[in-house]
Amino acid sequence: QVQLVESGGGPVQAGGSLRLSCAASGRTFSSVAMGWFRQAPGKEREFVAAISRNGAMTVYADSVKGRFTISRDNAKNTVYLQMNSLKPEDTAVYYCAADRAIVPHTAHAFYDSWGQGTQVTVSS
């Protein structure tokens, strides 16, 4: 499995930006796709974005398309989530996760390693 540690969350005003980072160790990071999910209070965990092992393929939830960008640096064993034009409805705990495969998936059942999460709070 891959050990994952997220960072970069915090409070931000609506319209602002944050960049989340997820540092990986353990199983070869560059061999698997990576994803970001989020969970707001009282809601189910939902897919945000995912990226293939080489970064060539990305997938986004409709709610973040055009505002969020997922990227990875395999030399640094890190995946990023750049979040722009943040909205109060983006408030959630954000988790990164390692897929079992090389291509990205939107369903959390495909992911077998999860970080502890980082809180993002967007105020209006």
- pLDDT tens digits for 2-18? 899 999 999 999 999 99
Higher-pLDDT residue of 29 and 43 is 43
Average pLDDT over residues 29-44: 94
For the chain, give the mean pLDDT.
95
**CA 48 to CA 30: how far, in whole Å?**
20
Does 50 score more than 80 pLDDT? yes
Q: How confident is the model at residue 27 (pLDDT cuts 50, 70, 90)?
A: low
From the number of C-beta atoms within 10 Å of its C-beta (0-12, 13-18, 19+), residue 46 rates as: middle
Helices (H) and strands (E) in the chain, counts: 0, 11
